[in-house]
Structure 1
Amino acid sequence: MSKGLPKRSENYSEWYNELVKKADLAENSAVRGCMIIKPYGYSIWEKMQRALDDMFKETGHSNAYFPLFIPKSFLSKEASHVEGFAKECAVITHYRLKNDPNGGGVIVDPEAKLEEELIVRPTSETVIWSTYKNWIQSYRDLPLLINQWANVVRWEMRTRIFLRTSEFLWQEGHTAHSSRKEAEEETAQMLDVYATFAEEWMAVPVIKGKKTANERFAGAEETLCIEAMMQDGKALQAGTSHFLGQNFAKAFDVKFQDKSGSLEYVWGTSWGVSTRLMGALVMAHSDDLGLVLPPKLAPIQVVIVPIFKGDEQLDQISEKINPILKELRSKGVSVKFDKDDQSRPGWKFAEYELKGVPLRVAIGMRDLESNTVEVARRDTLTKEVVSIEGISDYLVDMLDKIQANIYKKAFDFRASNTYEVNSWEEFCVKIEEGGFLLAHWDGTSETEDKIKDETKATIRCLPFDVADEPGVCVYTGKPSERRVIFARAY
């Protein structure tokens, strides 16, 4: 199954594109720039959704749904917001089609022009804040903690499955608060939720930090982010949380009566992650044989492959395996017993390697006689002969070890590809090699733009875990208060 998969070291981009397709995660659709997420890929997204949704609800949030279409006038109300998204918007101008009287098929009915054009949502701040005006009157209505699972459209010229498509799936949280402090705390809390999910579920180590003004979300006062390193040394923004201040409340006149009876504008946040996380999962862990999936997100955590000839041998193996299947499922393990007799065991082994199944168990008649099975780990490609007695507990424990090992491998890779640089010459050499560069920056947008133009590197964040350390800007030599993280990014 992995035959024909390019090597990461030779063409990382082609390796990624081919792996996504060969592992049955997704494929390009008939609509340019859009993707079809196939059942195996969608089952991973479902696990992501389930875990994140539980975390959102644990922090007091509720799900709702808002319209796909946004009146064009809504986007005009917050100036920086419309400026940030104007070039990516898909616009609906008519509401009806008709048959071409000249026999040219279906055409737009020129009589069906909308009085006001509608925007297919690129993000939902405007339509949600127009709704919040009706929902919020008093401090008793706050905080309002809402999340939406939805699809959005941001018109893209250059697309790549999961990483950048014209339509993608995501969640977007939108909250309203009675004080600046509470909204800022919410912004930080949700960033922590994303970081916990990335590290504990995806096994992807992330750096938490703050975006520069250049990289800030359009309409926000502050944007916090988590940044991950892929195996080619590039950065991927894995999640963002935005402190909106009172910008959208003022744009849509959303006020509340405080305890003293005064009218005040509410304070807002928004935050989101998308199917881009699927791309991160592939690029952070997988190898030249296929996917390497952390057990917590693997659709199949354990596959058991019987090696048999004829129904009689299969029946004997099944009799031994069925109680194990029941026990594993009772422990919450997703397990598959592949009894298909149309494919040879070797083909199956390669297929499950390609699809990133964390543990593969093989059992034949000799194993049955010796009361053992062969267990193969996907993360290390090692095999071990194990007694059938107590095998369920062994496999559960091994899944935990694989989860931890995949995280450690990614963490060590990031650590070995993160560098402190102190001169422009060193910066230019290291950025070509890939990785995260900790370098001083003079704090100006002008310098940030020049570095991006000359090297294609952007400031990924001002990391929270790097202490202030006065120095001089790596580009201008001007005073700098702290180091920031530069990298080339997806």
Structure 2
Amino acid sequence: MAKELTSRSENYSQWYQDLVIKADLAENSAVRGCMVIKPYGYAIWEKMQAQLDRMFKETGHVNAYFPLFIPKSFFSKEADHVEGFAKECAVVTHYRLKNDEENGGVVVDPEAKLEEELIIRPTSETIIWNTYRNWIQSHRDLPLLINQWANVVRWEMRTRLFLRTAEFLWQEGHTAHATKQEAIEETIKIINVYADFAENYMAVPVIKGLKSENERFAGALDTYTIEALMQDGKALQSGTSHFLGQNFAKAFDVKFTSKEGREEYVWATSWGVSTRLVGALIMAHSDDNGLVLPPKLAPIQVVIVPIYKKMEQLALISKKVDSIVAELKAKGISVKYDDSDNKKPGWKFAEYELKGVPVRLA
């Protein structure tokens, strides 16, 4: 198997890049800064997504979906927020193409200019809080605990697969509360959920803390973070939870009538993790032979490779393996029996080691 990796000691950054490509996790796309997540890489993300979704729902959150496009005027309503994201925004100015009769191909139709430009979401606070204005009138409507699974676009100049790309997948939670204390408690609860997931499912140690004023999320009063520790001695920001105060409620005029009959602004949080977690998983555990995946997140937890000389032997082995496979599946263990005859066992062992399958049986 000609899939030799650059060693970590030689060039840690190149080792990471080699491993992502050679383990078939992802590759660069035709669009600069964007990646194609391949089936094996996406299977890891699906495992993460499923567990996080369970954890969010156990803490009372529900899923919804909001538009990809955000009117430019929405960003003007929260000054700190727009300043933090302005340099990364992708902007839609037209809604139609037309054939280029002179040169062939297609061109943007100059007559199809939008009345107002649309921002492709870098994050969804503005579109969501504009919506919440219609959903929240009374203290009975609170708390509102919403999560969204989506893609976002931030026009990054220097990109690395999973760690920093122009488009990435993530979840973003957006909650509304009647009191400041409730919102602060929500912010801390979620950073603890993220830490629990990182440590008990990813098996990655993290440090929880509060971001400095210069590093906090644009438009937040406080940003809590988990920093995951990598093999090269560096920390990787792996999840953030923001106490937004009443900034977005005031910007979008989201008020409610309190139990005492007073009209008050809502208190807010937002929080998110992304496909960067896949990069963190790779860098925290893997070695010069390939991926090292924790069993809870491995797409294939057990692989069985038969060793035989004659097809009659394979038939006998397969008959015995069938019951083993059934027993493992009954226990909720994902198992693959690789009886393909176009590759030798040695190739298969090396391939499954590269892909980080936790248990490999022959």
Conservation of the 8 A alpha-carbon contact between 1:2 and 1:351 = no
How far, CA to CA, are the matches of 1:237 and 1:171 in structure 2? Answer: 15
Corresponding residue number in structure 2 for 1:96: 96
Letter of the 1:212 partner, please give it.
S
SS at 1:46 equivalent: helix
Letter of the 2:314 partner, please give it.
L
Conservation of the 8 A alpha-carbon contact between 2:162 and 2:278 = yes
Corresponding residue number in structure 2 for 1:61: 61
Matched, 1:275 2:257: no
How far, CA to CA, are the matches of 1:93 and 1:165 in structure 2? Answer: 23
**Percent identity between the aligned chains?**
78
Conservation of the 8 A alpha-carbon contact between 2:3 and 2:22 = no
Letter of the 1:189 partner, please give it.
K
Letter of the 2:93 partner, please give it.
T
1:391-470 aligned at under 5 Å gives the runs: none
Following TM superposition, by how much is the alpha carbon of 1:2 offset from its aligned partner in structure 2, in angstroms? 6.4
1:157-196 aligned at under 5 Å gives the runs: 157-196=157-196
How far, CA to CA, are the matches of 1:290 and 1:212 in structure 2? Answer: 36
Instruction: Out of 165-174 and 92-101, give the one that drifted further.
Output: 92-101
How far, CA to CA, are the matches of 2:224 and 2:240 in structure 1? Answer: 6
SS at 1:309 equivalent: coil
Corresponding residue number in structure 2 for 1:299: 299
Corresponding residue number in structure 2 for 1:336: 336
Gaps of 5+ in 1: 363-490
Corresponding residue number in structure 1 for 2:237: 237
How far, CA to CA, are the matches of 2:83 and 2:307 in structure 1? Answer: 62
Superposed CA offset, 1:460-489 (max 9, x none): xxxxxxxxxxxxxxxxxxxxxxxxxxxxxx
SS at 1:306 equivalent: coil
How far, CA to CA, are the matches of 1:13 and 1:104 in structure 2? Answer: 43
Letter of the 2:123 partner, please give it.
T
Superposed CA offset, 1:376-427 (max 9, x none): xxxxxxxxxxxxxxxxxxxxxxxxxxxxxxxxxxxxxxxxxxxxxxxxxxxx
Following TM superposition, by how much is the alpha carbon of 1:331 offset from its aligned partner in structure 2, in angstroms? 0.5
Following TM superposition, by how much is the alpha carbon of 1:333 offset from its aligned partner in structure 2, in angstroms? 0.4
Letter of the 1:345 partner, please give it.
P
Structure scoring higher RCO (CA < 8 A, sep ≥ 6) equals 2
How far, CA to CA, are the matches of 2:123 and 2:3 in structure 1? Answer: 40
Letter of the 1:148 partner, please give it.
Q
Following TM superposition, by how much is the alpha carbon of 1:235 offset from its aligned partner in structure 2, in angstroms? 1.1
SS at 2:114 equivalent: strand
Letter of the 1:161 partner, please give it.
L
Letter of the 1:94 partner, please give it.
H
How far, CA to CA, are the matches of 1:45 and 1:291 in structure 2? Answer: 15
Corresponding residue number in structure 2 for 1:201: 201
- After superposition, the Cα gap between the structure-2 partners of 1:2 and 1:269, relative to the gap in structure 1 and judged at 3 Å, is farther
Corresponding residue number in structure 2 for 1:43: 43
Superposed CA offset, 1:44-71 (max 9, x none): 0000000000000000000000000000
Provide the TM-score with structure 1 as the length reference.
0.73
Matched, 1:107 2:120: no
SS at 1:36 equivalent: strand
Following TM superposition, by how much is the alpha carbon of 1:233 offset from its aligned partner in structure 2, in angstroms? 1.1
Superposed CA offset, 1:309-328 (max 9, x none): 23211111112111111110
SS at 1:307 equivalent: coil
How far, CA to CA, are the matches of 1:272 and 1:327 in structure 2? Answer: 37
Q: Count the aligned residue pairs.
A: 362
Corresponding residue number in structure 1 for 2:10: 10
Conservation of the 8 A alpha-carbon contact between 2:45 and 2:275 = yes
Corresponding residue number in structure 2 for 1:72: 72
Letter of the 2:157 partner, please give it.
M
How far, CA to CA, are the matches of 1:89 and 1:2 in structure 2? Answer: 41
SS at 1:212 equivalent: coil
Corresponding residue number in structure 2 for 1:84: 84
Matched, 1:308 2:282: no
Following TM superposition, by how much is the alpha carbon of 1:341 offset from its aligned partner in structure 2, in angstroms? 1.0
Letter of the 2:313 partner, please give it.
Q
How far, CA to CA, are the matches of 1:157 and 1:259 in structure 2? Answer: 49
Matched, 1:290 2:290: yes
Conservation of the 8 A alpha-carbon contact between 1:2 and 1:350 = no
- RMSD of the alignment, in Å? 0.7
Superposed CA offset, 1:103-143 (max 9, x none): 24200000011010000000000000000000000000000
Gaps of 5+ in 2: none
Matched, 1:129 2:151: no
Superposed CA offset, 1:268-305 (max 9, x none): 00000000000000000000000000000000000011
